[in-house]
Amino acid sequence: MLIRTHSCALMGVAAIPITVEVSVEIGVGYFLVGLPDSAIKESQHRIDTALRNYNYKIPGKKIIINMAPADIRKEGAAFDLTLAVAIMIASEQMKGEEIVEDYYIMGELSLDGTLQPVKGVLPMAIEARRKQKKGSILPIQNAREAAIVQGIEILGVENIKQVIDFFNEGIPITPTTIDIREEFQNSLNNYEFDFADVKGQENIKRALEIAAAGGHNVILIGPPGSGKTMLAKRLPSILPPLTLDEALETTKIHSVAGKMSRYSSLICVRPFRAPHHTISDVALVGGGQHPQPGEISLAHNGVLFLDELTEMNRATLEVLRQPLEDRSITISRSKYSVDVPASFMLIAAMNPCPCGNYNNPKIPCTCMPGVVQKYLSRISGPLLDRIDLHVEVKPLSNEELLTKQKGESSSKVRERVVQARNIQAERYKNCPEIHCNAQVNTKMFQVYCAIDEECKALMKMAMDRLGLSARAYDRILKVARTIADLDGCTNITADHLSEAINFRSLDRDSWGR
């Protein structure tokens, strides 16, 4: 008997439909074809042992299994349940040949027959709905994650016996359902950190508010213990809330990467990713022999925080340049390429020098002449060119540390940020690729970032007196445009421009000398 079951393989963040064809004939042998990897080839032993726990077995006949299309590499143990169901029906140990093709089936089998969670069930559920399937059968641990896809049945099972009983006896499996909009609304503002907990540092809070309002990248430079990491962790709490479409897109990436827990369904807050400074370039941008999303994609629609920036491998940092501009990453291999979204805000933190005390008002710097400049040169000019705000973080005074006064809450700051983003949404409504000021290209400056003669004179004076580089010009105008939006002003004024100029510390000739 020839039986077909259906599942999916992952390619980037997309699910590719896979048809498992099983033929049980007279003879001896177990033949698995269709470009499976070692984990799938080993499935025979897991399936046989799992079935024996429930008094079933793989028949001692000639079994031919084809995983189509045969030119796509299949990997992982997620096809165990797909293969087991097909073998059981083909060997007439189980009913269900009429309805099995209505379901996408996925799950990894343990030796006792229980199911282990797998990666990528959300793209699989989306593909099942697209193919107009009745539903998906998958591990109970993944059920809530897949249930955010409406219009199909999500049948979460704990072991293979439940699947056998479902097809043999018609014993129903309770579908997992969630109200996606209610789930989204209930978790929308569930932030762990709040700006109200930060003492002092008003200028840094202001810089992060501007960054959030315009989608700008930020670098924080200051001595150890000045609060750089603490401030960075609170940036997501002032960003505009995720839209439902953004939440679904973000959840899909995390599902493929296997980052979803059993009790999570929809990612409702902007992600915050903070990889260690020893991270490799593949782990950062994604890739591998079979491409997987990297940290920049896991930070999609959220924040990527790179602490100890100058301690990171320079080659690793350079691979960020293209994703920062294009807001996506293309991972190419000899036979195919995949596009993975990577629209994130970059916030970096670093010490100003090897000893960490350059410009520290409390502790003198012990670095030799020229060492500070050499230390900063570990970050290339083209990468700094993509960072709009350079902010010096000074340590708090004793009085500020001992104060009990609370700062402004993140919710109040977020209200101003959302208002500024709404202004930008209206401004760029005819530009589908532009959503915030940070994405404005040079050709659009004359329209959206025009300045009067007073501002031009101020810019010229700043370039001459502060030694600002030419590459800082565009960045200053973008930041000034955002400051004007926060103030509700149509035009950029000299005050807006002055504040933007103050956030270009690393462009000054005097820095590090």
Quick one: pLDDT at residue 373? 84
Structural contact between residues 142 and 254, judged by C-beta atoms closer than 8 angstroms? no
CA angle 275, 305, 482 (to 5 degrees): 160
Quick one: pLDDT at residue 6? 96
Cα 156 from chain centroid (whole Å):
26
Quick one: pLDDT at residue 211? 95
Task: Give the closest residue to 201 by CA, choosing from 366, 394, 332.
Answer: 394
Separation of alpha carbons 490 and 487, rounded Å: 9
* Residue 99 DSSP one-character state: T
Place of tokens 């030694």: 467
Phi and psi for 369 in degrees, rounded to 5? -55, 135
Separation of alpha carbons 294 and 283, rounded Å: 5
Phi and psi for 16 in degrees, rounded to 5? -105, 120
Measured distance between the N- and C-terminal CA atoms of the chain, rounded to whole angstroms: 80
Quick one: pLDDT at residue 226? 85
Residue by residue, DSSP assigns 256-319 as HTT---TT-----S--EE---TT--HHHHHEETTTTEE-HHHHTTTSEEEESSGGGS-HHHHHT
Separation of alpha carbons 248 and 268, rounded Å: 9
Tokens of 361: 């008002």
Structural contact between residues 67 and 36, judged by C-beta atoms closer than 8 angstroms? yes
Quick one: pLDDT at residue 423? 93
Quick one: pLDDT at residue 507? 63
Question: 453-465 and 472-487 helices cross at what angle (nearest 10)?
Answer: 130
- What is the sign of the dihedral through the CA atoms of 386, 387, 388 and 390? negative
Tokens of 478: 């973008």
Place of tokens 């060492």: 371
Tokens of 394: 């000074």
Question: Mean pLDDT for each consecutive 10-residue tract of the chain (513 residues)?
Answer: 92 91 93 94 95 94 95 91 96 92 96 94 94 95 92 95 94 91 75 84 91 94 89 92 90 91 81 94 86 92 94 92 89 81 94 87 85 87 87 82 79 94 90 85 75 87 76 83 92 90 71 56
Which H, E and C letters describe 367-425, residue by residue?
CCCCHHHHHHCCCCHHHHCCCCEEEECCCCCHHHHHCCCCCCCHHHHHHHHHHHHHHHH
Amino acid at 481: R
Tokens of 116: 């282990």
CA distances for 81 relative to 5, 190, 351, 426, angstroms: 10, 36, 52, 50
Separation of alpha carbons 237 and 231, rounded Å: 11
Place of tokens 């995983």: 67
Which H, E and C letters describe 27-89, residue by residue?
CCEEEEECCECHHHHCHHHHHHHHHHCCCCCCCCCEEEEEEECCCCCECCHHHHHHHHHHHHH
Tokens of 63: 């079994």
Separation of alpha carbons 513 and 507, rounded Å: 12
**Beta pairing partners, 157:** 139
Residues in the chain: 513
Separation of alpha carbons 217 and 242, rounded Å: 19
Separation of alpha carbons 392 and 389, rounded Å: 10
Tokens of 420: 């500024």
Separation of alpha carbons 318 and 304, rounded Å: 15
Phi and psi for 274 in degrees, rounded to 5? -135, 75
Quick one: pLDDT at residue 122? 93
Q: Report the DSSP pairing between strands 218-221 and 345-350.
A: parallel
